[in-house]
Structure 1
Amino acid sequence: MAPFLALVSAGGMALAVDTGSAYYTQLKLQNIATAAAAGAVLTVLSEPASVTAKALDLVALNTPSGFGTVAKSSDVRLGKWDKSTQTFTATTEAPNAVEVTTHRSTAYGNPLRVFFGNLLGRSTLDLQAASIAMMYGSPACVLVLDPSGSGAFTAGGSSTVKANCTIHVNSTASSAAQTSGSGRVNVGRVCARGTITGGGWGSTQLRQGTAQCSLLADPLAGVPEPLNPGGCYTPPSGTSTLAPGCYTGTIKLSGNVNLTPGLYYFKGAQVSVNATTNINGTGVRLYVDATSHLDLSGGSDVNLTADTSSAQQAGILIFSSRSATTGGNVTLGGGGRLDLNGTLYTPSSTLSLSGNSALTQDDKTGVIITKRLSTSGSSTLVVNGFPSGANAASARLRSSVVQ
């Protein structure tokens, strides 16, 4: 009995060692794949051609000595992750996810050696792990949607654009993004699918061409436009407090004007301000239909914070109708200070900043999404893509492991 029990005991110990070794190796392979996928997916939009190289670099950095080569180029796949069906489809057309697979196998020349398996005629095990990560959040704090127009993003005159995040330009045209005159741009990165021209880019990191910049879809395309609450009217001149509702006709704001929380629906309205106007409001949404014009270029000071309670339009401060013309129905500028805390959404028209005004979003909780963006005069556009505070929604692109 003694030899038999000794054999059983030795076999049990070997099995425990093999099981522990296999568990550790499988866990490590999974961690390597997860780290590589989560890191590489962040480069999908700005540097799609380098995603595989980035993933393999991360694999190498996280692979212990003795594991050998656990991943090759064929183990990195770009694709789309469908959240509704929880499925991954490999594709290079507008990808939003990366899959990385890692191996310890005979085919890769690095199978896991086992002890107990020798008693069964098997000395190695083949193991593999896979991980899929998708990007979420906004990949850019400023997104210019025009797919083909020249000068889709233009900083002209002596204007200045400052941001600690990415400006993404979908246009594939020559001079898709440009500076002219004394216009200056100092942002984290400008990524344009067309060419970038001008000499006013300062220390901005420039990425251009379709190989480096993917087509970026409008992230708010599925958000419905607000419903007209009805009862449209024209407020009397000199009104100091406006309540949510529908406004129409010629509206001239002056003095100190307070907007109480809620939706302001402008239908066939021509809204303007003068140089002595101060507008303040917290928890507001401004919707400008295709027949209206919101003109804040009169030199007024405007301090508005977006409503975050709406289930569908939460965080959108200014929403310009998708039926508006490219010429634009929202004008910013003059000589005042514009503190606009929330998303500025003009998907079918130009958002322009002129005069010597300053549009600042130091504590912003949104992004700028527009068909075209233009700054001119001596205006200043400042965007903080990484605000602090409990309610700050960062514009930073982030990744999430989904499988």
Structure 2
Amino acid sequence: MTGLLKNRNGNVAILTAMLMPVVLMFSGGAVDFFNWNNQRVKLKELADTLATRGAREFLLANATEFQVKAVINNVIDSGYAAAYGFPSLATEINVNTLEGEVSVHLSSPPADALLLNKFQPFKQSLDITSTAVAHGGMNVCVVALERTGDGAVSATTNSKLLADECSIMSNSKSTQGVVSSGNSKIEAGLICSAGGAYGNVHNYAPFPTLDCPHYADPLSEREAPAVGVCDEVDAVYGHMIEDVVSAAANVSTNLISAAAKGHGGGKVNKLINGAGLSETTYTLNPGVYCGGLTIGTLANVELNPGIYVIKDGPLLVGLSGKLSGENVSFYLVGDDATFYFGPEAVISLTAPKDGPLAGILFFEDRNAPADRTHYILSDDARVLLGTFYLSRGTLAVASLLPVADQSAYTAIVAKKLSMSGNPTLVLNADYAGTDVPVPEGVGPVGNTVYLRE
């Protein structure tokens, strides 16, 4: 009996039972507070994003209050808010067009809770306001003029399009007007699609703004240069790869086969060494090159300043050919006038400082057949300073090493910009770092957007 009286084992259970409601209350309250604070942080992030996207519309010409509000509401309705965990929101948008200012007020009921939503302030709706201001305009480095098709701007496989200091504008109304897939990445100060965008969040930085207004062709009023009589016809400099293969009969069969098929990796240079051929330097003058201009293996072509009219044939730089020129421009006229920079070609070009094509590196005839493709496959095209104006065609980039990364600036106005494989196209915006002018409508047409506390 005495032992039973002294046994206190049951006291622990009693004490635990007494304290359990208190423990549950504190632990439940901690969970509630964590969820409430997390909800508040996400709501703030969403408000910041919406305000910033709205203010970016002021970086475009003639943005209106209606347009800004439509863009923000479209983002919400597209499921963006639901992705943040807010399927239902009360939204108030205020737009000051004179100041370029957008305020977004969001209100959401508190998340379900165990305890805290029975107490103030946790039982009240969450209210967050963010304000973004557009200062100036923006730098534009890509304008894709395609109006309906998929992939007006596209990057596939392992492509990288890096335009951190400027904006990418796509006019396609397609739901896949902008495409970034696989391990590709498109980075820009602003990515603006008149339609939709295909790809995941990790494929973009930032994710494209959708349903943007049409961005007019900024070079539509630039006059094309006059075309005179032919200065050269079917011009070819250097050796074609077939000639090199024939001269290198003592080189191993496998190496010859690899070079003849156009494989890179230095195999052509090995083939050249075996052929006993040497490089020849040529200096060309501006003029009309009827039938195109071909720069083959072992040709180092240096261009004097001026305009080169490539008529009724391609500008072709073959394997290990070299093409360089300062203050030069190419006018592509005729059905077959495209350009092709092959693997292992060495390219270094800067646009004119003055004259009718000042700031323009390539100008495609506006009457050219639609949807032609111009290729940059070169692993050594580091300097492409100026503007590519290909209003009827596609600029296709598929190289292994960075393209245009050593240029002060590169701008692209084309029907489409297509990247595939492993290229890295770098579009710099150091406009003060060169005396080559930037054509009106691209380059520094504006500046920045910032959040204001």
TM-score, with length taken from structure 2: 0.57
Aligned match of 2:361: 317
Mapped partners of 2:384, 2:95: distance in 1: 46
CA gap of 1:257–1:48, structure 2 versus 1, over 3 A, is farther
Aligned match of 1:231: 230
| 2:446 aligned with 1:398 | yes
1:320 Cα deviation after fit: 1.2
User: Which secondary structure state, in structure 1, belongs to the residue aligned with residue 400 of structure 2?
Assistant: coil
Structure 2 spans left out of the alignment, 5+ residues: 1-54, 70-93, 102-133, 239-280, 448-453
Deviation per residue, 1:291-326 (Å, 9 max, x gap): 21211124311110101211x321001111112233
CA gap of 1:200–1:256, structure 2 versus 1, over 3 A, is farther
**Number of residue-to-residue matches in the alignment:** 287
Identify which of 252, 256, 263 aligns with 2:294: 252
Aligned match of 1:346: 390
Mapped partners of 1:47, 1:190: distance in 2: 17
Aligned match of 2:338: 293
Aligned match of 1:331: 375
1:380 Cα deviation after fit: 1.3
Aligned match of 1:240: 282
Mapped partners of 1:45, 1:271: distance in 2: 36
User: Which secondary structure state, in structure 1, belongs to the residue aligned with residue 157 of structure 2?
Assistant: coil
User: Which secondary structure state, in structure 2, belongs to the residue aligned with residue 216 of structure 1?
Assistant: coil
User: Which secondary structure state, in structure 1, belongs to the residue aligned with residue 140 of structure 2?
Assistant: coil
1:83-232 paired onto structure 2 within 5 Å:
139-164=139-164, 165-199=166-200, 201-202=202-203, 204-210=205-211, 213-232=212-231
CA gap of 1:293–1:208, structure 2 versus 1, over 3 A, is same
Mapped partners of 2:412, 2:397: distance in 1: 13
Mapped partners of 2:286, 2:382: distance in 1: 21
1:365 Cα deviation after fit: 4.4
Identify which of 411, 429, 434 aligns with 1:385: 429
User: Which secondary structure state, in structure 1, belongs to the residue aligned with residue 429 of structure 2?
Assistant: coil
User: Which secondary structure state, in structure 1, belongs to the residue aligned with residue 433 of structure 2?
Assistant: coil
1:280 Cα deviation after fit: 1.1
Alignment check: 8 A CA contact 1:147 1:171 kept: yes
User: Which secondary structure state, in structure 2, belongs to the residue aligned with residue 398 of structure 1?
Assistant: coil
Mapped partners of 1:257, 1:333: distance in 2: 18
Deviation per residue, 1:205-237 (Å, 9 max, x gap): 234333xx2211011000111111323423343
Alignment check: 8 A CA contact 1:248 1:270 kept: no
Give the superposed CA RMSD: 3.3
1:60-79 paired onto structure 2 within 5 Å:
76=97
Identity across matched positions, percent: 25
CA gap of 1:299–1:329, structure 2 versus 1, over 3 A, is same
Mapped partners of 2:374, 2:303: distance in 1: 18
| 2:416 aligned with 1:368 | no
Mapped partners of 2:292, 2:349: distance in 1: 21
Larger Rg, first or second structure (1 or 2):
2
Alignment check: 8 A CA contact 1:42 1:398 kept: no
The letter of the residue matching 1:188 is G
1:355 Cα deviation after fit: 3.4
Mapped partners of 2:285, 2:402: distance in 1: 27
Mapped partners of 1:200, 1:247: distance in 2: 46
1:50 Cα deviation after fit: 8.0
User: Which secondary structure state, in structure 1, belongs to the residue aligned with residue 389 of structure 2?
Assistant: strand
Alignment check: 8 A CA contact 1:43 1:51 kept: no
Structure 1 spans left out of the alignment, 5+ residues: 1-38, 54-72, 78-97, 101-132
Deviation per residue, 1:123-160 (Å, 9 max, x gap): xxxxxxxxxx9977x75211111111111111012111
CA gap of 1:207–1:47, structure 2 versus 1, over 3 A, is farther
Larger relative helix fraction: 2
